[in-house]
Amino acid sequence: MKGRPIDFRDYALKDGMLRYDAQRISEPGGDLLDPAGARLEAQAVGQGGRQAAWYVKGEFGEGVLRHYRRGGLMARFSANRYLWLGAEQTRSFAEAELLRYMYERGLAVPRPLAAAYWRSGFTYTAALLTERIADARPLRQSLDGGHHAEVALAIFAMHEAGVWHADLNAYNILLDAQGKVWLIDFDKGRRVVLSQERRRANLLRLRRSLIKLAGDSGLQWWTELNIAYDLLSRAKGPL
């Protein structure tokens, strides 16, 4: 089932721009993405996010706010600044637009609510606000429950929509209280022509994550997932 179109609008900020969902937000402003402000009732996320993610509340309902931060070696040079290549190339706008594309096509991803960037010379900082998935747990905590076919179907649907996930791991796949599978964190993801090799690379990244986190049981779980994914691929026919 396709989702309703999202009415994104732009709102000028000091040194930047806010892109927001006008159906869910009536009062745009920079404080919409400020975890220190009283408007959001922000609570830090316990895991992940590089200490830059918060659960928030507002007129939009419950959301997850993330300020983009670097990892790895690049973080030594700049923790949160990125090279300016244009508004649509910012991490926040790119991820929000990719989420909108998937959400409007009925894929199980969080609805994007707002994205912003703040520019300074040749660099910028950025933030993204998405809808929070109620009562959701990461796949890492749900391996005993099976769900191989459901997770395989969610990944397969993403691939069929022409979307490549840059970091498909056991924390970026969620299951809610009803057992529905959700995919999150599409930073650096993109729409591409997905060859069999690209699809396999996504699945192998998840395999590495599961083995790292759960050892042999993680490998066994991924093997069942891989079988379910291959069955979907065969039913569709050659790429």
SS (H, E, C) 90-107: CHHHHHHHHHHHHHHCCC
Q: Which pLDDT score is estimated for 52? A: 81
Q: Which pLDDT score is estimated for 73? A: 59
Residue 47 has pLDDT above 80, yes or no: no
Q: Report the run of H or E that residue 81 belongs to, with start and end.
A: none
The type of residue at 27 is E
Answer yes or no: are the C-beta atoms of 17 and 6 closer than 8 Å: no
**176 backbone dihedrals φ, ψ, rounded to 5°:** -90, -175
Residues 6+ apart with CB under 8 A from 38: none
- pTM of the full predicted structure? 0.93
Residue with tokens 């909108």: 100
Residue 239 has pLDDT above 70, yes or no: no
Rounded CA separation 32/214 (Å): 38
Is 21 among the catalytic positions?
no
Q: For residue range 55-112, what is the model confidence (pLDDT) as tens digits?
A: 999 999 999 999 999 865 555 567 889 999 999 999 999 999 999 999 999 999 999 9
In the chain, the domains with their CATH numbers are 8-131 (3.30.200.20), 137-236 (1.10.510.10)
Rounded CA separation 117/26 (Å): 19
Active site residue: 21, 167, 185, 216, which one? 167
Q: Which pLDDT score is estimated for 70? A: 82
Assign 3-state DSSP to the chain and report helix, strand, coil percentages, each to 5. 35, 25, 40
Q: Average pLDDT over the chain, rounded to whole?
A: 91
Q: Which pLDDT score is estimated for 45? A: 86
Q: Which pLDDT score is estimated for 79? A: 80
Please classify residue 121 by burial: count the beta carbons closer than 10 Å to its beta carbon, then call 0-12 exposed, 13-18 middle and 19+ buried. Answer: exposed
Please tell me whether residue 126 adopts helix, strand or coil conformation.
Answer: strand
Number of continuous H segments (helices) and E segments (strands) in the chain = 3, 13
Residue 157 has pLDDT above 70, yes or no: yes
Answer yes or no: are the C-beta atoms of 126 and 116 closer than 8 Å: yes
